[in-house]
Amino acid sequence: MVSFTESLDYTAPGLIILPQTPQLIGLYTKIRDINTSRNEFVFCSNRIIRLLVEEGLNHLPTKEHTVTTPTGETYNGVSFEGKICGVSIMRAGESMEMGLRDCCRSVRIGKILIQRNEETAQPTLYYDKLPEDISIRYVMLLDPMLATGGSAGMAIEVLKERGVPEDRIIFLNLIACPEGIQCILKKFPSIKLVTGFIDKGLNDKNYIAPGLGDFGDRYYST
C-alpha cells in the first residue's frame, strides 16, 4: 500500500470536502460495511449524493434578486446565473443522476462511457452523448469514486473538446484518494472537485483503500 495522503494539499483552491459531521461519518460507515444490505446501501448513498449536489450548487455564480414576501415586505436575495447540466460517467455515475434531479428540476443530463483496462488501469472512451449547447452550461460531472483519475480526466477532456470552459466543470464524487485528486487538479487546475471523503490511497490493484468495493455493483446489485 502506498499512501499519498501526507503530500496532498487539502487547501488547494479547487478541492472542496464535505464537513465531516457525525451524520456523514455514520453514512459512510454504513456504505463501507460489507454486511450492509443493498437497500440500505442505496438509501445511505443517496443521502450523501444529495449533500454533494447541494454543495456543488453552492459554487455556481449568483446575482442579486429582490422579491416581495406575502407580508408586503421586500427581501434582498440572490438567484442563480447560467444554465447547468449533469454528465454521468457510466455506469456508476448514473446512480447520482436522481440526486441532481431532486435539486434541479428538468435538468438535462449527458452521458460518457469510459471503461478501464483492469490490467493497465488505463481508460478507453467508448461513447458520449451530451447536450448540444453544453459549451454554454455549467457542468456537474458525476462519478462516485475517484481512484487513479484516468477516467475522470478523460471525461473532462471530452467536455473541454465540446467547448466547456474548465472553470465551469464541477466534479462530484463520494470517495476520492490523494492520487486521483492530485492527478485531476494538476492537469485541470480551474475545475471544482467536490468530494465527501478522502481515503488513504490506492492498493496494489489500483483500488481505493479502505474504499467500499465496486460502487456500481453494490448500488445496482450486479
Annotated domain spans of the chain: 2-220
Over 60: is that where the pLDDT of 105 sits? yes
Over 70: is that where the pLDDT of 191 sits? yes
Could you tell me which CATH class the domain 2-220 is placed in? alpha beta
Catalytic residue among 120, 124, 133, 167: 120
Q: What is the DSSP letter of 96?
A: G
CA 184-59-92 angle, 5° bins: 50
pLDDT on residue 121: 62
* Number of other residues whose CB lies within 10 A of the CB of residue 77: 10
pLDDT on residue 120: 66
Q: Is 167 in the active site?
A: no
Query: Are the C-beta atoms of 191 and 167 separated by less than 8 Å?
Result: yes
pLDDT on residue 1: 42
Question: Residue 203 CA to chain centroid, in angstroms?
Answer: 22
Q: Cell numbers of 182, please?
A: 492530485
Percent of residues, the chain, with pLDDT higher than 90: 81
* pLDDT: which is higher, 97 or 121: 97
Catalytic residue among 9, 133, 167, 217: 217
Most confident range, picked from 15-29, 78-92, 200-214: 15-29
Q: Is 116 in the active site?
A: yes
pTM score > 0.85 for this model? yes
**Three-state SS string across 148-185, please?**
CCHHHHHHHHHHHHCCCCHHHEEEEEEEECHHHHHHHH
